[in-house]
Amino acid sequence: MLYPLKFRPVYKSYLWGGRNLERLGKALPEGNVAESWEISCHPDGITAVSNGEFEGVPLPDIIKKYGKQLLGKSLPVRHTEKFPLMVKLIDANSKLSVQVHPEDDYAITNENGELGKNEMLYIISAKPGAKLIYDVVEGTTVESFSQALKDSTVEKCLKWVEVSQGDIINIPAGVIHALGEGIVVAEIEQNSNATYRVYDYDRIDGDGNRRPLHIEKALKVINFNSVSRKEKSSGLRVDINSRSYKTYTVANRHFSVELYSIDGKIDEVADGSRFYIYVFTEGEGEIIFGRNSLKVKSGESVLIPSNIGSYSMCGKFKALKSYVPCLEQNIFAPLVSYGYNKEDIYSSISGLL
């Protein structure tokens, strides 16, 4: 019998990390910790179950045994062969490298079958005045950008955006980006580690070397025609009850993400069509399923198998709920029923195709 699954994080140490994930309750290893891979099937960091009967079992083994019972009958077969999502917590204690991710077609061809990477960020915390890079400034071309890289003036081509707690940032493949100093985020993304580093502020790693750049590939995938794209998603709110609500934030063909704000108890259902992942960013509570329950708190992530049926969530918390859309279903039908029209939906939710 499947049940809500927690996982042992895989921690990654990079030169820009820190100790800020401890504030989310993480028991970090020594040194700088840049990323906590919360739920991952990627070979670079596979997570194993940390609760219940399957404690210690790697996620790929659970998928191999249960297949669509875990993932959902409406998901394509390819998702049983390659889990579609990855969840991370990221501590940008200092600036990340300026980078870009490819789309699927380019990555599959040029990165040994790796998927591309579309991703979204939820700002868990940000120091006053914190900023991130999102896209190039208007008028930048591949030619002018290439010359700026040669002249070491590329920073003038980059658009900085101030961010604060609660902001939602959608980052499609092809959009150049980088977190600035003093930001902690939850990241929902495709199951991919395809990243092309464009600029790294001439930093030196612990061995005295500059980190490698991937400029040739990056120039082939950067979208220089996306400068009109909104940096932040305002989302659309739907009340669940008098004290709880959810906000539809990002939706694309790879994943949809809703932000839950819960005070009390709500009822949910996993009807067998798809799995769900919750990333808890504030507060604490519990998930009640059948005669069992699972306590949850900020800094934790939980995978809800597709076939567990009705379950409840209670407590006082905020959580990101992510899932792979079933394309034959209209996931925005609830928004229409609450009075939102097509213009509202397309102007407020990022990533729509």
CA–CA separation, 175 vs 337, rounded Å?
33
Both 198 and 299 in one domain: the answer is no
pLDDT number for residue 353: 44
State the number of CA atoms in the 13 A half-sphere of 19 facing the CB. Answer: 4
CA–CA separation, 306 vs 274, rounded Å?
5
Report if residue 353 sits inside a domain: no
Count other C-beta atoms under 10 Å from residue 155's C-beta. Answer: 12
State the number of CA atoms in the 13 A half-sphere of 298 facing the CB. Answer: 17
CA–CA separation, 96 vs 113, rounded Å?
26
pLDDT number for residue 154: 96
Both 21 and 115 in one domain: the answer is yes
Residue 333, helix vs strand vs coil: helix
Both 241 and 294 in one domain: the answer is yes
Contacts of 312 (CB under 8 A, 6+ apart): 265, 266, 267, 268, 287, 288, 289
Report if residue 227 sits inside a domain: no
Both 242 and 210 in one domain: the answer is no
Report if residue 226 sits inside a domain: no
Both 39 and 178 in one domain: the answer is yes
Burial of 328 (C-beta count, 10 Å sphere; 0-12/13-18/19+): exposed
Task: Give yes or no for a contact between 87 and 173, defined as CB atoms under 8 angstroms apart.
Answer: no
CATH of the domain at 259: 2.60.120.10
Q: In what order do the strands lie in the sheet with 177-179?
A: 158-162, 131-136, 177-179, 98-100, 196-199
Q: DSSP secondary structure string, 42-70?
A: -TTS--EE-SGGGTT-BHHHHHHHHTHHH
Q: Tens of pLDDT along 39-59?
A: 999 999 999 999 999 999 999
Is 19 a catalytic site residue? no
Report if residue 260 sits inside a domain: yes
Contacts of 3 (CB under 8 A, 6+ apart): 52, 53, 289, 292, 294, 305, 308
Number of structural domains found in the chain = 2
Q: Tens of pLDDT along 290-313?
A: 999 999 999 999 999 999 999 999
Q: What is the mean pLDDT of each successive set of 10 residues along the chain, which is 353 residues long?
A: 97 96 96 97 98 98 95 88 96 97 96 96 98 95 96 95 96 96 98 97 83 95 82 91 95 92 98 96 97 97 98 98 75 71 75 56
Both 210 and 259 in one domain: the answer is no
Domain boundary among 187, 221, 255: 221
Report if residue 68 sits inside a domain: yes
Both 189 and 320 in one domain: the answer is no
Report if residue 27 sits inside a domain: yes
Both 24 and 74 in one domain: the answer is yes
Residue 25 CA, distance from chain mean position = 19
Domain boundary among 221, 256, 290: 221
Q: In terms of residue numbers, what domain contains 338?
A: 236-348
Domain boundary among 192, 221, 250: 221
Instruction: List the catalytic residue out of 197, 203, 210, 291.
Output: 197
Report if residue 103 sits inside a domain: yes
Task: Give yes or no for a contact between 320 and 298, defined as CB atoms under 8 angstroms apart.
Answer: no
Both 164 and 95 in one domain: the answer is yes
Both 271 and 314 in one domain: the answer is yes
Both 217 and 240 in one domain: the answer is no
The enclosing H or E element of 301 equals strand 301-304
CA–CA separation, 251 vs 124, rounded Å?
20
Count other C-beta atoms under 10 Å from residue 143's C-beta. Answer: 10
Q: Can you read off the two tokens belonging to residue 67? A: 């297949």
Both 210 and 246 in one domain: the answer is no
Report if residue 228 sits inside a domain: no
